[in-house]
Amino acid sequence: MTTSKKPEAGRRKKTVAELTEAEWEIMRVVWEKEPCAAGTVQEALAATRDWCYATVKLTMDRMVQKGFLEINKIRNLQLFRSCISEVEARRGELRKMLKRAFGGALTPMLKFLIEHEGLSQDEAAELREFVKKAEQGKD
């Protein structure tokens, strides 16, 4: 469901798209092949999902209602296009996980990753570089 959330201090207001796992799979195909028909999506997912055409089409129609996809009708053909970008979808996924596991706070999540998942020297250097660039951007 697409919702607008109140921004935290220092953060920009963004529209957050929260997709289900099935919607993620469909969106990956749509982003790659758009515009595309539901049959194209069903065929692309056939190797990993045993979904019939009706299941894919129904899910895609619901995604239109949620604002994730739009339909362009050409005679009796319905072509689907994305209404959200991969960045918007990833943002929604991250926000959902942050809210569930870390009360919506980014710093505890980063601390957890560093303490419990570990960082290689290259990853630590890259993270320091990101922080340095972010600090320079605030000046």
Per-residue model confidence as pLDDT tens for the chain (139 residues): 444 344 444 444 445 678 999 999 999 999 999 999 999 999 999 999 999 999 999 999 999 999 999 999 999 999 999 999 999 999 989 999 999 999 999 999 988 988 888 888 899 899 889 989 989 887 6
Task: Give the pLDDT confidence score for residue 43 in this predicted structure.
Answer: 97
Q: Are 1 and 66 in contact (CB under 8 A)?
A: yes
With beta carbons less than 8 A apart as the criterion, state whether 66 and 55 touch. Answer: no
- Cα separation, 58 vs 56, whole angstroms: 6
